[in-house]
Every structure is written in structure tokens, then in C-alpha cells.
Structure 1
Amino acid sequence: MSVLSIKFQLFIATSVWVNFFTFGLWLGSPTVVIPQLRREANTTAVVSDEMESWLSSVVGYAGLPWAVIFPLCMRRYGRKFPFIFASACALTSFIVYCSSSTAIQILAAEIIEGVIFASNSTVSMLVITEYTSPRHRGLFLTLKAASMNIAICIANAIGTFFHWKKIPILGTVCAVYSFSAIFWPESPYWLASKGRFAECMASHRWLKGTGDEAEKELKDLIQAQIEYQESHTNQHVLLKIHSTILKISPFIFKTCDMHGTFLFFGISFSICIYLFYAFLPETKDKTLQEIENCFKDNSEKGDIYMTPFPSAQLLTASKKDFTALYFSLKGLSLSEYYT
């Protein structure tokens, strides 16, 4: 891979890191903003305990609808437009934040910031995985989490030594940089899924160069999309799992009490970890197409996966096996969330 291709990938990755950084500024700001507001007003009534809890949590609630909207938008409009939209919302939220003087106004700004919360969980993750090479993907994904944690520390440091409005000023500068996404090409994976193979090749070569590995990845991507047949997995099963767990959650609390509930959480979480380790294939240095092929029915090719049992037994895993595993793990994770 050429140095130029790495620079292009860094150019895109930094925009994603900046979005995580701006979200980290939001996460860290309530800790220092609320005490300053109370100190300036010389009373705790300016930010009630209830308002304090909302200022610390409303971003998550505001992002829930967008967590559904963004995947639908990405399927129809690609990755570039939703990312630019999220960056525009981030800029708007920081401008409102910087202009705020009351807790209600700050709350309104945080509701807008909920778009970034959803974007980081959907759009940004897909941008990193589709726009970067397998060799650097793990590093880039690690740095996006690190940038958010660093931003939390910076927000606390700014609020400790300076006025809290310095935080949205820094966030505004970062949000402006995120608009560099205007100069991105569209995702080659999305272009291939739409049958726009000429644009896909141009985008892929702009991002990853024309080396042997990149050309092999491009060839596999186009070939797979030509042969692709959409899966018809019954997603209603997932909704039934949601509904069932919501229904039995009060019974679990009543029967097991708080200690039993946490014990249930620990056991189910341990089962999830083991099942992931036992059945999911390694993804390091693999292209997205190679990872996808791991979940397809490759019985004709004789693909096998090593399990961590002491006997080192070899199992042939089909797509149906992974579908069953997915819903099992999803059910366990949902039970952890609701309890």
C-alpha cells in the first residue's frame, strides 16, 4: 500500500475521531458545567437534582430514534451524506451550547447532540470499517475510542480551570473540521451494492491504492456483489425476544431481588463471552468480504473453524448455525440490558 493511500485513509479516519472527540466533550461537560451554573447563581435551585440527571443522560435518549433512522439512510443514500448531516448537527449543538445561559437551553443543545451519539454507533463505525484497509482497521477503531476518552478528560480540565463556555468553543472548531467529509469519495462497498461498479473501482483505488492486496479485495468485492442474493432472515424473532424480556423483567426483579439479578447478569455475560470466543472467526487483517464469507454456507469449500475445547474439535459452521448463534447471543445481551 502506498504512502498516499495511507494519508487518504488517515484523512477520513481523523474526521471520525473528531466526531468521537466532540461527543466526549459532551460526556465530560456536565460534571463541571452544573457546579459552575450553581456557583454563578449562588443557589442549587438553578439546576435541580432532576434537571441534573437529565443533563447527564438525555443525550442517550435523544439518540435512540436516530439509531434507527441512520441505518435506513445509509442503505439509501450511502455513508457520506449521513456523516455530513451528523457533523452539521454537532456544529449546531455546540453553537446552541455556547449561546446558552440556562439549564433548559443546555438541555436543548444536548438533545441535538443525540444525533452524534447515534452516528458514532452506526455511521462512524461503518466508515472506519469500509474506508480503511484491513491492516490498519484495528488501530483506527481503537483510536476512535481513545479520542472520546481523551475528550472527557479535556472537558473536565477546561471546566476546572476556565469558564465552561470554553468547552463548546473547542467543540465548534472540531465540528467544523468534520465537514471535510465533503471531500470524501462514497464508500466502495455501498457503490458496489448499488451496482455502480465503475464508481466503486475509482473510490476503492483512491482509498487503498492499486497494490496486489487492494486489487484482490476489489475483485472479491465486485464478484460477491454480482452473485449476492439478499438474505431473508426473519427479523420478527428479534422483536419477540425484546417483547418477552420486557414482559418478564419485573418477574426477574421480584423473584431474584437485586443480588440475584446481578448474578443473572454476570452468568449471562460470561456465556456471551464464551460463545463469541468459541464460534466467531478471527477478523484481524481480513477484508470485509473475507469476514462476510465466514458467515456464509461454505460447505462445498469445506471451511472449518477451530473451537477452544480441550479436544480441539473441528466443526463445520454454516450460515444457519451463525444465525442461531446470533439470536441466542442477542437474547442474552438484551436480558443483561433490561435487568
Structure 2
Amino acid sequence: MAQIKKESNSTFDTSPNIVAWLYSVFGYSAIPWVVAVGVVTEKFGRKKPILIGSVFFVTSFIIFYTSKSSIQLLIYEIMYSSALGYGTTICILIVTEYTSPKYRGIFLAIKSASGFWGVWVSNAIGTYCHWRNIAIIGVVCSLYPLSAVFWTESPVWLASKGRFDDCTASHRQLKGQDSESEKELANLIASQKNKAKPVTFRRAVVLKEFYKPILLSIFMILQYHFSGKFVCSIYALEVIKKITASEETAYMGMLILDGFTVFSMYVGCVLSKFFKRRHMYLTSSLMANIFLYIISLYLYLVKCNFITENKVVSVMLLAILNIFLSCGPVIFSTSISGEILPIRFKMAGIIVNGLTFNLTLSTVLKISPYLFKEFGTHGAFLFYALAVTILTYLLYKYMPETKDKTLQEIEMYFKDV
């Protein structure tokens, strides 16, 4: 967007209102995709929807590359929102259902990191090359889902449809035949053979095995977005310019923050092999919360001329905040929320989570420019800090440990508590 604003004789409308919509519309327009993908995935399995999605992704990047106005960019955003709908529904399902408990958390964390790789690469291309080149990388990446042609179908979906022989073959192909995998397979088949009769959504919401994991998932999603992480990624240039009053520092700081984000997410993936997820999540959330308050206080003191703004200090404070957010809430919010949803209500839970994620994401991105304008950058960070404090306390009180547990074991926890 910054590059488009600089182009002479540009036909793009770059007014603040249009820019805010360009940054946020993809989340709102992903909402119908969440429902549609959820319904199709439940009926036809995991493979076919992924193949269909690849067509939408490629088409949207072609529109992006050929765009000559802000309206065409908005059309691209609406088309590409299908990717966000897929990312918050079927992609989480695939990782949780196709991987063993031992590696599930790592794969979910890597999935989360991949999205921020996209942000980093896009920002780098927009800084050093023409912004349309982003579409070329996007088309190449969008072809990868076509590999689903060679996948086996999800064993969980096969079991839910009563296809137990196919489920057994798929499960063994994906996870082998060691004692732990065979135990997981036996529990999966037993849980589906003995599952209770289907209940309506109205009755499901009063069952603790449904509403407790759903509420926990919502708390994690809200904490993720109200931490300001996505705001700092999307509005990085604007935020750093407001803090440092230097365009050169803003571009450098944006790429540094993107680099710290991606690096920290992979560090978090490695650390999750040695530490409990709950402990890592809450510790990093607490440290991120502390730095949100520190940044708010620092910016307030700068505004009141008690101290002089230092560009290195400003960027480093944001970098440290990004490190703690990336090691915890960013990689574990989608990971744990995908794990704790009960198999019986998996699709309903995924749809609720997807709707919450996209609605909250777009709303936070839409209101953030007004927060910065009306309350100052220090006021916006104070708002984020207070929100994270409340949500971190709720997660501390109710979040269970999921490391190395099967989906059936996690489901039994919520039935017992």
C-alpha cells in the first residue's frame, strides 16, 4: 500500500477509509467461506475442498496482478479471503487429524508460522521490488494444495462416517503401526462406534464438553488479536512512523519485526518439544503483557517530553514484544484451539472458531487506525495491554495441558471437569 501511494499518476484511491477497508475486508468476507468450507468438508471429506480452494487462490492472485484500481484490489481481497476461510477451518482439521499427538503441536505451530512468512516476503517484495511481483509468488504457493490428489483421506472423517476399514488403512499409512498409534486407532474407532446420538446445536451449547472448549478457543483467539500482533504486522509502517517519525526507520523496522516474528515462531516450535504447551503459552503471554505496558508507558513519556524518543529503543521494544507473542499466543492459539475441540462437535467448533477469528481480526484491524488517532499510539498499546491481562487470567484459570495427549484423551478431560 505504501508503494501504491508513492506511484505517480496512480488510479488507486488511497484515502484513509479505503486503506482501512483494504486492510480489513478479507476477514469479513472470509466469514461465508468459513461456513461453506465447514459444510463441504463435513460432507465430502478433507481432500476435495483443498483441491477446489487452489483454483480460488490462483484466480485471486491473477486479479491482484492485473488490478488497476482500489475496487479491483477489494475484489482480490474478497476472493483471496477464501484462503483465510480455509486456513481457519480445514487446514487446522488436516493438521490435527493427519498427525500423531507427538508431532501435532509442532506441525500446527509451523502452519501458523507459514502465514507470517507470507507477510515477511510480501513486505520485502513491496520494499525492494514492484508490489505486483507478490502475485507471482502467490500463484506458485497456491499450486501446492494440488498435492492433495495424492493424499489419503482423514482417518477421523472416515471413522465418523462409519468407514472403519478405510479409517484403519488411512491411520496406519499416516501414523504407522507402533503400539501408541494402534492404541490411538482403537480409541478412535471405539469412540465413533459408541458415540452418542446426534444433537441439535441448541442442545449442544449447554453440554460442558462443547461450550468449555469453545469458550477457551474464543479466549485464545481474542487474546491473539487484542495483543496487537496482527495490527503491528499489517500497520507496521504506520505504527513505526508514528513512533520514530522516520520513514527509513519504518521500513527497516518493519522487516526486522517480520524477521523476529518468523524466527521466534520456529524457536517456539523447537521449545514446545521440551516444555509443556500450557506453561509456554502462559509464560510468553505474561511477558508480552508486561512489554505492552512498558511500550505504552515509554510512548506516553515520549509524548509528554519526559524522555527523548530513541529509534533503536523503539524498534527493540517492539521486537521483544513480537518475540514473546510469537513464541506463545501466535503459534499456540490455533494449535491448542484445534486440539481441544471434541470430535463429536469438531465441525461446529471449527466453524465457530473460524467465524470468531475472522470477525475479530477484521474488527481489530478496522478500529485500530481510529484508536491511534483518538487515543494516541500509547493509548492503543494500553488498550491492548488491558485486554491481554483479562484474557491471560482466564486462560490461566481454565486452559488444560494438551501436549502428547490424543484427541480422545483431551475430549475426556472436558467431559470430566
Identify if the C-alpha distance between structure 1 residues 280 and 157 changes in structure 2 by more than 3 Å, giving closer, same or farther: closer
2:118 to 141, 146, 151: 151
Deviation at 1:61, TM superposition (A): 1.1
Match of 1:48 among 4, 8, 15: 15
Q: Distance in 1 between matches of 2:391 and 2:63?
A: 41
Q: Is the 8 A contact 1:201 1:218 kept in 2?
A: yes
Alignment partner, residue 295 of structure 1? 414
Q: TM-score, normalised by structure 2?
A: 0.54
Q: Shift of residue 281 of structure 1?
A: 2.9
Q: Is the 8 A contact 2:56 2:80 kept in 1?
A: yes
Match for residue 26 of structure 2? 59
| Cα distance in 1, alignment partners of residues 87 and 10 from structure 2 | 36
Tell me the amino acid that sits aligned with residue 293 of structure 1: M
Larger CA Rg, structure 1 vs 2: 1
Deviations 1:242-297 (A, max 9, x none): 9xxxxxxxxxxxxxxx9xx9999877754543443334432101111221122224
Q: Give ranges in structure 1 of 5+ residues lacking alignment.
A: 1-33, 243-257, 298-316, 318-339
Q: What is the alpha-carbon distance in structure 1 between the residues aligned to residue 135 and residue 392 of structure 2?
A: 39
Distance 1:271 1:289, change over 3 A: same
Alignment CA distance shift 1:96-1:265 (3 Å): closer
Q: Superposition pairs for residues 252-263 of structure 1, below 5 Å?
A: none
CA RMSD for the aligned pairs? 3.0
Matching residue of 1:213 = 180
Identity %: 45
Query: Contact (CA 8 Å) 1:97, 1:106: kept in 2 or not?
Result: yes
Tell me which amino acid in the other structure corresponds to 2:30. G
Mark the CA change 1:158 to 1:271 in structure 2 (over 3 Å): closer, same or farther: closer
CA distance in 2, matches of 1:97, 1:72: 28
Contact 2:12/2:69 (<8 A) preserved: no
Q: What residue number does 2:302 align with?
A: none
Measure the CA separation in 1 of the matches of 2:145 and 2:398: 38
Q: How many residues align?
A: 248
1:300-320 CA-to-partner distances (Å, cap 9, x unmatched) read xxxxxxxxxxxxxxxxx2xxx
Matched residues in 2 for 1:218 and 1:123: separation?
21
Residues 216-235 of structure 1 aligned to structure 2 (within 5 Å):
216-230=183-197, 232=199, 234=203
Q: How does 1:165-184 map to 2 (within 5 A)?
A: 165-184=132-151
2:400 maps to 281
Q: State whether residues 51 and 149 of structure 2, in contact with CA within 8 Å, keep that contact through their aligned partners in structure 1.
A: yes
Shift in alpha-carbon separation, 1:231–1:158, aligned structure 2, 3 A = same
User: Which amino acid in 2 is paired with 1:189?
Assistant: V
Q: 1:116 and 1:153 mapped to 2: Cα distance?
A: 17
- Once the two structures are superposed, residues 54-101 of structure 1 have per-residue CA deviations (whole angstroms, 9 ceiling, x without a partner) of 211111111011122222222212222222222221111112112222
Q: What is the alpha-carbon distance in structure 2 between the residues aligned to residue 86 and residue 96 of structure 1?
A: 16
CA distance in 1, matches of 2:38, 2:103: 24
2:62 counterpart (84, 95, 99): 95
* Secondary structure in structure 2 of the residue aligned to 1:295: helix
Looking at structure 2, the residues matched to 210 and 92 of structure 1 have their Cα atoms a distance apart, in angstroms, of: 41
Unmatched segments (≥5 aa) in structure 2:
212-351, 353-374
What amino acid sits opposite 2:41 in the alignment? M
Using the TM superposition, give the Cα deviation of residue 35 of structure 1 relative to its aligned residue in structure 2, in angstroms.
3.2
* Conserved 8 A contact 1:38-1:44: no
